[in-house]
Amino acid sequence: TDKLTYKITDINLAESGRKLISMAEAEMPGVMQLKKIHGPKKPLKGVRLAGCLHVTAQTAVMIEALREMGAQIQWSCCNPLSTQDNIAAALAKAGISIYAWQGETDEEKLWCIDQTIYFPDGQPLNAILDDGCNLTRIVHEKYPHLTSGIHGSSEETTAGITKLRKLLKDKRLKIPIINVNDSVTKSKFDNNYGCGEGVIDGIKRATDVMIGGKNVVIIGYGNVGKGCAKAFSGFGARVVIIEVDPICALQATMDGHQVITMVEACKIGQIYVTATGSTNLIREEHMMEMCDMAILCNIGSGQTEIDIAWLKANAVKIENIKPQLDIYHLSNGRALIVPADGRVINLSCAHGNPSFVMSNSLSNQILAHIELFTKKGQYPVGIHTLPKILLTVHRPLGSSATNFTTEIPPSSTTIEVSFSSFTTDLSSPFTI
Ligand SMILES: Nc1nccc2c1ncn2C[C@@H](O)[C@@H](O)C(=O)O
């Protein structure tokens, strides 16, 4: 086929990207351990994996582990703003077919995804790795004839799971799904601690705002909202919470945060953070009441938690300050600061969540694909989570890592908890 083997910004950025990938490997013991244990056995030989997930150093570490395990891989990015061009260049130079660059248009993003459907040998994908259900949705809508050949898709994020549950409810889901987001070693770590550090990194790189002493309104008190509230509180902000779920609202109260409504919040908020995985949380009726130069940022995936469309249609002036930072001047004479066009701020304005928590999330991605490919019959069409097992493995001193997997009783299932939070010294008894 005359398809480009890759399309990125600049292959000359590869060396700098490779250095960052090496640094990330040092802080991703879980993924590296899985690569060491499973790599030699090539459990994914025969997998043609199309991935659509943020192109960061952490993702690159996972991609290279999956390839070491035998998978053929093609990649695009789920967010037009989150590709790090030097990482994409390092992956392209290493022979990965990647179609992604920082600052894609929405149409280019879709073109990139289309490049990953068929492999160079003309064969279609037979596995999907998704973050926000973009690729799974496109396969269902544009390539429905290919769904029967796909043994499974893994979904990384909350908003993606919401979309998949709707597909399932409408009886339109055609492939097995492993819900990586709800693995406890993913959502209790990446979503919480990762996004807590990521939102601060993103908002500061975007706006240089002083956080101490500010009124910060966090909308959504799930794993992500909890991590963000803790991070902003740590910087001395006064954090108030909007939350409709009574349990999460009670947790917010018990954590010392006032829980109020958006009508009340938009009178006091100086920094807003949407973290719900839902849509249209901040709307016209709120924005028209907000303080001058309030900052609206989003850390849920997708671009619809803040009603950007209304802002673009109704601002009297849109002032671009720098890439990923605009000020919208409203008809009431006040202005709102919006980083990243309302897209996920940690990945659009910084480099995403740190390696250590991503090792947890991406270890679960790897385990999901080993599970889906080697145990096909066990995962019918539907949404599954990786089994959670507690396992004590007592290992004779000095034995090699490879026989670790043979010590797992054949009846047990894949270890859901990734290694990254445990010592990689397999010579000592430890409990997983
Ligand atoms: N450094 C990174 N690499 C890849 C993906 C990254 C990331 N940081 C955040 N996400 C997104 C995840 O938090 C995903 O789990 C989500 O929920 O969006």
pLDDT tens readout for residues 279-316: 999 999 999 999 999 999 999 987 899 999 999 999 99
What's the pLDDT score for residue 430?
34
Ligand 1 proximal residues by C-beta, below 6 Å: 53-54, 56, 58-59, 131, 156-157, 190-191, 194, 198, 301, 346-347, 352-353, 358, 361
Structure tokens at 72: 């053929």
The owner of tokens 């145990």 is 375
Mean pLDDT of 23-39: 93
- Whether 9 contacts 88, CB under 8 Å: yes
- Whether 32 contacts 65, CB under 8 Å: yes
Which tens digit of pLDDT belongs to each residue from 144-199?
999 999 999 999 999 999 999 999 999 999 999 999 999 988 999 999 999 999 99
pTM over 0.95: no
CA distance 357 to 421: 9
Residues in the chain, total: 432
The torsion angle over the Cα atoms of residues 105, 108, 109 and 112, rounded to 10 degrees, is -160
CA distance 304 to 319: 21
CA distance 180 to 155: 6
What's the pLDDT score for residue 392?
35
Structure tokens at 15: 């060396």
How does residue 1 score in pLDDT terms, banded at 50, 70 and 90?
Answer: low
Would you say residue 235 has pLDDT above 60?
Answer: yes
Which tens digit of pLDDT belongs to each residue from 254-272?
999 999 999 999 999 999 9
CA angle 383, 387, 392 (to 5 degrees): 170
Nearest CA to ligand 1 atom 6: 352
Task: Give residue 113 CA to ligand 1 midpoint distance, Å.
Answer: 18
Task: Give residue 129 CA to ligand 1 midpoint distance, Å.
Answer: 13
The candidate with the shortest Cα–Cα distance to 374, out of 363, 385, 366, 362, is 366
Residue from 158, 197, 358, 363 to probe ligand 1 pocket by mutation (most atoms less than 8 Å from CB): 358
Mean pLDDT of 327-346: 97
Residue from 64, 190, 191, 224 to probe ligand 1 pocket by mutation (most atoms less than 8 Å from CB): 190
CA distance 355 to 345: 17
SS3 186: helix
Q: Using the atom order of ligand 1, give the atom closest to the CA of residue 354.
A: 1
CA distance 284 to 206: 23
For residue 258, list its beta bridge partners: 240
CA distance 125 to 253: 47
Among the residue ranges 51-60, 252-261, 287-296, 358-367, the one predicted with the least confidence is 358-367
How does residue 389 score in pLDDT terms, banded at 50, 70 and 90?
Answer: low
Would you say residue 428 has pLDDT above 90?
Answer: no
User: Could you tell me how far CA 20 lies from the centroid of its own chain?
Assistant: 19
What's the pLDDT score for residue 276?
94
Structure tokens at 311: 């802002």
State the DSSP code for 330.
Answer: P
Residue from 52, 53, 75, 156 to probe ligand 1 pocket by mutation (most atoms less than 8 Å from CB): 156
- Whether 131 contacts 181, CB under 8 Å: no
The question of ipTM being above 0.95 is answered as: yes
The one-letter amino acid code at 45 reads K
**Cβ contacts of 368 within 8 Å, gap of 6 or more:** 152, 154, 178, 180, 386
Structure tokens at 22: 């090496």
How does residue 401 score in pLDDT terms, banded at 50, 70 and 90?
Answer: very low
What's the pLDDT score for residue 315?
98
SS3 326: strand
Which tens digit of pLDDT belongs to each residue from 273-287?
999 988 999 999 999
Q: How far is CA 314 from CA 19, 106, 129, 296, in A?
A: 44, 21, 37, 16
Instruction: Please give the mean pLDDT across all residues of the chain.
Output: 90
CA angle 161, 164, 165 (to 5 degrees): 85
CA distance 248 to 245: 5
Residues 66-87 as b or e (16 or more Cβ within 10 Å = b)? bbbbbbbbbbbbbbbbbbbbbb
CA distance 430 to 42: 26
